[in-house]
Structures are given as structure tokens and as C-alpha cells.
Structure 1
Amino acid sequence: MTVCQDRVVIVTGAGRGIGRAHALAFAAEGARVVVNDVGVALDGSAAGDGPAAQVVAEIEAAGGKAVANTDDVADWAGARNLIGTAVEHFGRLDVLVNNAGFVRDRMLVNLGEVEWDAVIRVHLKGHFAPLRHAAEYWRGEAKAGRMPSARVINTSSGAGLLGSVGQSNYSAAKAGIAGLTVVAAAELARYGVTVNAIAPSARTRMTEGVFAETMARPDEGFDAMAPENVSPLVVWLGSVESAGVTGRVFEVEGGKVSLAKAWRHGPSVDKGARWEPSELGPVVQKLIAEAPAPEPVYGAS
């Protein structure tokens, strides 16, 4: 039995890699899919091809239903049009999967303003803008007495949760997405919307320099870095079965799914009055001694 039968799903950045795997997986589970991809190169420059249409053709060849959309998700009007595409073609919207992104990696001392702005725009604003217009649509549905059973799945990263050397722009954007996720989950619950995020590890255009071409288990023939490994959790999070799960970030790698621990209040010392700077050295050392050691930053020596 398919878990997303007749659900209407938008997947951004769905022309290649993890996004393509999501779109195909949703279609295989009976969903009608809006395949969004503006068709750019890894660094965000124009690529001149049409990957969204190619994925739609794959879905239709397998008997599914899909439509292509090439709007820029970080453009306000484009994001609004993306939501409208789902409603106009399929009559409603049930699931938004924010996945689009690219990288412009540099060490911090070499990172330029353009590279910072571009990555923050496509990842962070590219999550916010579709989410904002989808939320407006779902609020309207709820106020009209048609309470949604809607889902948002955002895409953070281990870089956003722990940091990654040479990726300060990408890490900051992905950390922002994790923060956006928990706020949106709290605000949109009243409209029947859950909001979760994933932090995937898989072989894509953005990670091909990090992961080997294959990381298969010889005894099982299992490619642990295949993008398709990430999609089952995303599809389940997009289903009606996931109604009780919101405001969470899941790490997904190969066959492993884990629940990330968010920032939490830790040890504290309360003087009951204003501290003097000279008093705080021992206080800070005591707090550090009582707290768990932080996870290491990816790539740190």
C-alpha cells in the first residue's frame, strides 16, 4: 500500500541528486509531483539544460503524474508561482520539500561577499520563500474550514549542525534552516502543518569531491552514499502517518536514521546579581567542565 497516494508534493531542486531521488520516490508512492529545478550548474551559474522536464518524463514513463517548474525558489514571485503551480495543476498542495541549493566553498579568509550572499540566498531564502507562500495557502485552507494535513520537509546538513571547515557560508545557511524549521513547526501547527528537516549524507554534485565514487558494502552490494537512501524517510515524513512528528531534525546516511539533538539549556551558575568581569573566568571553566564536550567540526584537525 502506497503511503502518499494522491498527495500533491513539491520538491525543489529536483532535477538531480537527492531532489530527483525524492521526486521519483514520492511518485512511486502514488503522489503527484511538482518537479522544481531552475537548471543551474553546481556553483549556481546558468547550465542551459532542463533537468526538471527530464525527471517529469521519468515519472510519467513509470505511470506517475508530474509537472515541471523552473522558477527560482529564492525569488519572491517565483516562489509564489511555484506554490500556484501545484494548486493550478493538481488542485491543492499537501507537501513541500525544500531541497534546492548549491555551494561556493572557500576558507573564511578567502570568502567574498558575492559567494556569501549567493549561498545564503539560495539555501536560506530559497527555503523561506516557498515555505512562506505555502504557509499562506494552508492558512487560507484552514480558515475556510478545510483543515490541511500538510507537511514541510526542509534540508539542513551536518555542516549546519556541527560546522564544516571551508564552508562557513553553507554552514551558516544550513544552521539557519534548522532554526527556521523549529520556528515554523511551532507557528504552523494550528493550521494542520508539520515542519521537519533532514541532514543527509549522500553522493551528489555538492559532495562528489568529499565522498568516493562508491561506498558499497561488498557483501551486500549496498551503496551507502546513494541519494536514493535518503528519500524513504522524506516520503514518510510527507505522509499522513507522520502527523505527530514536528520540529525535528533527522540525520540520514545509508541505512542509518538518527534524531539530532538541538541546542539545549546546559549547566548554569546564578549569582543573583551582576557579575564583575574578573569573577567570570572560574565560572566559565566550571560550566565547561560540567557540560558535554562539543562534537568536532567537520574537517577540523
Structure 2
Amino acid sequence: MTGLCTGRVVAVTGAGRGLGRAHALAFAAEGAKVVVNDLGVGLDGTGGTAGPAQQTVDEIRESGGDAVAHTGDITTADGAASLVRTALDTYGRLDTLVNNAGFLRDRMLVNLDEDDWDAVLRVHLKGHFLPLKHAAAHWRAEAKAGRTPEARVINTSSGAGLLGSVGQGNYSAAKAGIVALTLVAAAELRRYGVRVNAIAPAARTRMTERTFADTMTAPDDGDFDAMAPENVSPLVVWLGSAASAGVTGRVFEAEGGRITVMEGWRPGPTADKGARWSPAEAGETALKLLAEAEPPRPVYGA
């Protein structure tokens, strides 16, 4: 390894399994000290154990790295604040935050309970906002004290947040919100030395290996395992390093050996009457503009 993150302290949420674990191990391999957050809950967010977080910490330490476990609930103000405090108390600094924690409660909209909507929005969207808020407050204080950091935030969206996904209205809405939060945070925090980006990964995790079983199965012939979560981590590590200084407010898809810069909403065909349309005129104009526009990419599962 190159030591790209030597001297940096990185906090990764949801790092007990899947993508978060892969990110934590990859950061440690590049010299970072890692705060490994995980509640150890089930796929639907129920239950909880300290085991997964500690297992990732143990793996890092066995490989000669430095890590500490954090099992607080980052969807609460106290839990998110304690994540930042753990980094500062243990290592004296925080350089990078990777927001990754999440779970699924998939239902078609007509069968989606309010509790399942709230739970998924809480872990994904609020679980991004609160750690980001507390980390940003620390970095702002550092900047105002004349110690402008080389701070990095990597948020985790999804193709479901960019295109939508049938049966995942709650998850898709949360992941779309994360993109908007990323753009706002990048604009607001740049003055404090903070760069904020997002990834939309495709990889084999507990959340995908059953839902997309056909595409997530690991090859058994020694071929490249395109869906291994470790394939996503190199981009995350680079974004979390000082080397990504000029990059902020961007969204990347990462899958297998492919990295794509995503280009979001941009103005397409337009018409301006210079006065108020009638409903019939507005409809006729809209149809003409739609005929000129690029068709949208299909929703996952449609």
C-alpha cells in the first residue's frame, strides 16, 4: 500500500459488515486510524450487538493497524456527538467521516407502513445528517481557531436514490435526500476546509445479495468478483484523503472496476411565452418539450 492516509483519523459508520467494513479495512491499510461504528443490528434494523464493530477492529489490529470500536446510535444527537468525541478522545483529531450505516424495510407503497418509512429515513438520512453536523461543528471551530483542516466527508447514496427502485420508496427517498444533503454541505463547508462528496455503490452486501441475487452471486471460477464490496473502497479512500483537495459536491457511481461521475438535474428543452400559459397551452408546450428531451433512465425493477 502507498500510505495515502497515513496520519489521518477516519470514522466509518456501519463498518461492522459489508461496504463499511471494506472501507474501514482499506483506510487502515493506507495508514489511517479508524473509528469503527456499528450497532450490529439485523437487516431490518432490529436487535443489536457490539460484535460486528469489534470484529472489524480486531481485523485491523491483527493486520498491524490502529482502530477503536464505537457502538453508539448515530441517528441520535448523543450517539453522533459521541462518534466525533471518540475520535478526538482516542486519537486527538478527526479528518474524514464516511457515512455508510443503513438497513432496509422494503414494501410496495400501498403496503409500506409509516413506521417502516420513518425507520429507513431515520437510519439513512438522519444517520447522515447528525454525524455530518457534529463533525462539521468541530471542523468549523478548528478553522476559526486558525487550524483549517483537510477534512473529508463521503456520503453513501444509491442508484435507487438517483433513479428510484420499485418496492423501495422509503430507501429511494432517503438516498435521494443524501445527494441533496451532499450538495448543500459541500457548498456550506468549503470555507472551513471540508470537502463533501457522495458515492452510489453497487456491491454485494446484506442489503443486495438477496434482492438482486442473480447479479450479486460471486463467481466460482476465479474470475474477477465484480460485486465484491472491496471494489468500491479504493475510490472512497481516495476521496477521504488529502489528495482529493479539489473535489467537492460530486456524486460517483462505483461498481466492480467502473467509476462514473454522475451528472444530476440540468436544464433541458425549455419554452418561455413571456406571459401566463393557459392550461391547454401549458400542456401542448410540455408535450413538445418532452418530445425533444432525453428519455429518463428506467427505475430499477420496473
Matched, 1:214 2:217: yes
Q: Which residue number corresponds to residue 15 of structure 2? A: 14
CA displacement at 1:2 relative to structure 2: 1.3
Matched, 1:253 2:255: yes
Q: For residue 180 of structure 1, give the secondary structure of its aligned residue in structure 2.
A: helix
Query: What fraction of aligned residue pairs are identical, expressed as a percent?
Result: 69
CA displacement at 1:217 relative to structure 2: 8.6
Q: For residue 223 of structure 1, give the secondary structure of its aligned residue in structure 2.
A: coil
- Cα offsets for 1:71-107 (capped at 9, x unmatched): 1111111101111110110111000000000000000
Q: What is the CA–CA distance in structure 2 between the aligned matches of 1:240 and 1:125, rounded to whole Å?
A: 27
CA displacement at 1:215 relative to structure 2: 4.0
The letter for the 1-side match of 2:119 is A
Q: Which residue number corresponds to residue 229 of structure 1? A: 231
- Cα offsets for 1:139-167 (capped at 9, x unmatched): 00000000100000000000000000000
Give me the TM-score of the superposition, normalised by structure 1: 0.97
Q: What is the CA–CA distance in structure 1 between the aligned matches of 2:218 and 2:58, rounded to whole Å?
A: 29
The letter for the 2-side match of 1:270 is D
Structure 1: tracts of 5 or more residues without a match: none
The letter for the 1-side match of 2:259 is V
Q: For residue 128 of structure 1, give the secondary structure of its aligned residue in structure 2.
A: helix
Q: For residue 96 of structure 1, give the secondary structure of its aligned residue in structure 2.
A: strand
Q: Which residue number corresponds to residue 301 of structure 2? A: 299
Matched, 1:103 2:101: no
Q: Which residue number corresponds to residue 199 of structure 1? A: 200
Q: Which residue number corresponds to residue 285 of structure 1? A: 287
Give me the TM-score of the superposition, normalised by structure 2: 0.97
CA displacement at 1:222 relative to structure 2: 0.8
CA displacement at 1:113 relative to structure 2: 0.1
Q: What is the CA–CA distance in structure 2 between the aligned matches of 1:27 and 1:49, rounded to whole Å?
A: 20
Q: What is the CA–CA distance in structure 2 between the aligned matches of 1:14 and 1:288, rounded to whole Å?
A: 43
Q: For residue 222 of structure 1, give the secondary structure of its aligned residue in structure 2.
A: coil
Moved over 2 A (4+): 211-218
User: Which is further off, 20-29 or 204-213?
Assistant: 204-213
Q: What is the CA–CA distance in structure 2 between the aligned matches of 1:278 and 1:217, rounded to whole Å?
A: 59
Cα–Cα, structure 1 residues 276 and 162, in superposed 2: closer, same or farther, change >3 Å?
same
Q: What is the CA–CA distance in structure 1 between the aligned matches of 2:151 and 2:115, rounded to whole Å?
A: 35
Q: Do the aligned residues in 2 keep the contact of 1:217 with 1:224 (CA within 8 Å)?
A: no
- Cα offsets for 1:17-47 (capped at 9, x unmatched): 0000000000000000000001100000014
Q: Do the aligned residues in 2 keep the contact of 1:217 with 1:223 (CA within 8 Å)?
A: no
Q: For residue 216 of structure 1, give the secondary structure of its aligned residue in structure 2.
A: coil
1:262 to 239, 264, 271: 264
Q: For residue 81 of structure 1, give the secondary structure of its aligned residue in structure 2.
A: helix
CA displacement at 1:265 relative to structure 2: 1.6
CA displacement at 1:49 relative to structure 2: 4.9
Q: What is the CA–CA distance in structure 1 between the aligned matches of 2:200 and 2:219, rounded to whole Å?
A: 21
What is the number of residues matched between the two proteins? Answer: 299
**How much is the aligned-residue C-alpha RMSD, in angstroms?**
1.1
Q: What is the CA–CA distance in structure 2 between the aligned matches of 1:21 and 1:48, rounded to whole Å?
A: 19
Q: Which residue number corresponds to residue 126 of structure 1? A: 127
